[in-house]
Amino acid sequence: MRSLDFSKLVSLLGLSLALSCFTSHLASVNAEPSRRRGDLEFPESSYDVLEPRPYYSESLFQEQQDEASRCDNSTIGEASSCPNPLITTLYGDPYVAFDRPFSQRKMWFTRRLKEGVYVAGQLTPRQIKYAADSGFKSIVTTFDHDGKGEGMTFKITTDQEENLVKLAGMKFFRILRPNEYNDWTKVLLTERMGRVYPKVELPALFHCERGVAVTMSLLLHFAKEYKGLSGGIPKIDSQRFYELTKKHGLDFADLLAPMTEATVEEVLGAPKPSSATKPFLSVPMWFDYWQAHPVAGNWFMAGQIVADDLPTIKSTGFITVLNVRQGLKHKSAPAQENAELINIKSDTPTYDKDGNPLRQRKETLKTLIIDNGKKSRFIGPGSLTNYESENPEEFGDKIGYNEQLEREALESAGIGYTHLPLAGKA
């Protein structure tokens, strides 16, 4: 596989979030936030808001194209100094277009297509609530499902999803009807996307089951509607479509081509270019666990995994988890990191200055509520508060994230595990 320097990977992302790196393997990272990325200043906390800035410019786009051209002929077996294009799709300037600060720790599973437009696979109730916490205005599903799709963590129907989205204060849109589930490879989905998209209030989270159909339909819609730079996305022709999907780790050039090539050609008016190539990934169907972010070869990243996803992670082909989050202690001192909590701000201290658990005390949590107007039923049936105080779903306990709980769950699931904690704030 292509040689990777993991420390450079983390510093390049410059994010204050928990990542996981799978190398047919997987890892959790809590990287300290970078103060600079390119010419953008970043705040210490993801809850400090930046002024909107354009993500793309003609000169930046040309620089990226020149660099991509230099690197395109690299192979998996060659050591290369080329920056990995896949990770450029994770986040652009995520602070743009959000009326409340975007939490990268909560929304790590999304992929940004352009300003205010993010894509994902089938959402769980927790992910929907995290989207509300982070300021999304709309959620759009490309299909109408019955909640029995393969690989779903929490099996909810589209009707249940719509009810939860509206309870969270967001708008909800469906594109395909129940009897049109298999039409995602046809021009019909792009045409429907064109009708729905103008009604969607941004920022919006668009999803399908695995993130494949929604990425294709949005890019084809943008290709029809936008002839030049628009909101951070260059003009999309046939060559650009295959380049962009490759950067998202999606193999439309080969693996998905039998189902999609004719539709892409019909919409874009040009055949698949001879230069179209597949991404360098050793797990071609990685999107069965769509939350993973491909890096290269057998390396993938994700945020904090959840217990119910372990069977899917294993069946997809991932064999090892490399966890870089802090354990219970660091140099004999308490070191538990935050566990993300619904309707509670991220990036707040786990302990007070004397090392006593602070964050998940009732009196502390009340000062960290994101939206005081939320009802208790937003948290879940039987909740007595409009905020979450503990998160066992993501291996949290009464203090914060508990690495030992994750270790035990992975070992019980028969998935390899390595704990490589990186020093960071708890």
The 10s digit of each residue's pLDDT in 95-127 is 445 666 678 889 999 998 888 899 999 999 999
End-to-end Cα spacing for the chain: 34
Per-residue pLDDT tens for 235-273? 788 999 999 999 899 999 999 999 999 999 999 999 999
Helix (H, G, I), strand (E, B) or coil at 294: strand
Q: Are 362 and 345 in contact (CB under 8 A)?
A: no
Identify whether 258 is preceded by a cis peptide bond (ω within 30 of 0): no
Q: Are 13 and 31 in contact (CB under 8 A)?
A: yes
DSSP bridge partners of 414: none
Per-residue pLDDT tens for 50-97? 222 333 344 544 554 555 455 444 433 333 344 444 444 444 444 445
Give the C-alpha separation, 30 to 340, whole Å: 13
Q: Considering the chain, what is the average pLDDT of its residues?
A: 78
Per-residue pLDDT tens for 363-383? 999 999 999 999 999 999 899
Better-predicted residue by pLDDT, 388 or 93:
388
Least confident of 32-36, 46-50, 178-182: 46-50
Q: Are 114 and 209 in contact (CB under 8 A)?
A: no
- pLDDT for the residue numbered 43: 30
- Reported pTM: 0.79
Q: Does residue 19 surpass a pLDDT of 70?
A: no
> What mean pLDDT is predicted for residues 378-405?
96
Alpha helices (runs of H) in 197-309, residue ranges in sequence order: 212-225, 238-247, 257-268
Per-residue pLDDT tens for 217-228? 999 999 988 755
Domains of the chain: 38-286 (3.90.190.10)
What is the identity of the amino acid at 286?
W
Q: Does residue 423 surpass a pLDDT of 60?
A: yes
Per-residue pLDDT tens for 308-356? 999 999 999 999 999 999 999 988 899 999 999 999 999 889 999 999 9
Structure tokens at 221: 């819609």
Q: Are 294 and 86 in contact (CB under 8 A)?
A: yes
